[in-house]
Amino acid sequence: MSIRFLDAHLHLQDERFPAPADQIIARAESVGVHRFFCNATREADWQDIMELARKHTGIMPFLGIHPWQVDSAVTGWEERLAETLSSCSSSGAGIGETGLDKYASSGLQMQQKLFAAQLEIAADLFLPICIHCVRCWKMLLDTLERQAAGRGLPPVMIHSFSGSVETMHRLQQLGCLISYSLRIMNTRNTKLLNTFKQTPLEALLLETDAPDQLHAVPTRQSDSAITYNEPLNVAALYRFGAEQRMMHVKDFANQIWNNATIFTNQTLAR
């Protein structure tokens, strides 16, 4: 069987893509990318993502409110989120993108309130949750450790991980999956690459965060015609990652595919 890649975090509904999502998906599929964890950033995305997931079996919808979008939250969003998630097909859905960001315009207190509420819904429904964290590692670890000691954590992935090797180990001990983006291919960021190399294989995921992280697309340096990041770029990340871990790309891709399957399978307790 040919190699199957998964893009563990992206935003196919994003208006910044210059082509319709169908074309972006077809381009990705042509290089072997067949599964996409498509994340919302605000409530206005939810129906668009559900629609995309109905059209493309490879898309798993993640619905939530991003820390940059906490001001967009309208009263009653928690109920509507739980309701929309329970209307999803048997192929499932998750919560995302949520989290904490030191550089977001709204204060951390408000972000923390929305994040804790989304973590609570994920725990209630035992749904996978995709977390964004920028320079708020202590606050994140405290929140997750509190939840783990209380009623327990839902399946958690940390998207586009950028923390230290110590933080990675603490998250991994809590059962979190650690997802890396094209940023590990940046030759100036050897610290992040070293953290990637030390991440246990069974905790790894890979993603593009497309259309974001254009700056991290390696081919962009030599080709100024590249104006957006897209899921087909994840294939190069798998090749790079496999080489760094001294693995055959097919075995490496299978491992990550299986990690994602465990993460999203509600019948398997982690």
The binding site for Zn ion (CB under 5 A) comprises 97, 209
Nearer to Zn ion, 56 or 159 (CB): 159
**From residue 146, how far is each of 101, 107, 251 by CA, in Å?**
19, 21, 36
How is residue 18 annotated by DSSP? Answer: S
Nearer to Zn ion, 3 or 12 (CB): 12
Minimum gap (Å) between residue 71 Cβ and Zn ion: 17
Minimum gap (Å) between residue 268 Cβ and Zn ion: 25
Residue number closest to Zn ion, CB atom: 209
Q: Quick check: 128 and 119 in contact, CB under 8 A?
A: no
Nearer to Zn ion, 103 or 150 (CB): 103
Compute the distance between CA of residue 17 and CA of residue 211 in angstroms, rounded to an integer.
7
Q: Is the peptide bond before 211 cis (omega within 30 degrees of 0)?
A: yes
Minimum gap (Å) between residue 182 Cβ and Zn ion: 13
Tokens read off for 31: 């290089």
Nearer to Zn ion, 3 or 25 (CB): 25
Minimum gap (Å) between residue 97 Cβ and Zn ion: 5
Nearer to Zn ion, 70 or 242 (CB): 70
What are the helix (H) ranges across the chain?
21-29, 46-55, 77-86, 108-125, 137-149, 165-173, 190-198, 234-244, 249-264
Compute the distance between CA of residue 256 and CA of residue 239 in angstroms, rounded to an integer.
13
Minimum gap (Å) between residue 84 Cβ and Zn ion: 19
Query: Please, is 51 exposed, middle or buried when counting C-beta atoms within 10 Å of its C-beta (0-12, 13-18, 19+)?
Result: middle
Nearer to Zn ion, 3 or 115 (CB): 115
Minimum gap (Å) between residue 214 Cβ and Zn ion: 13
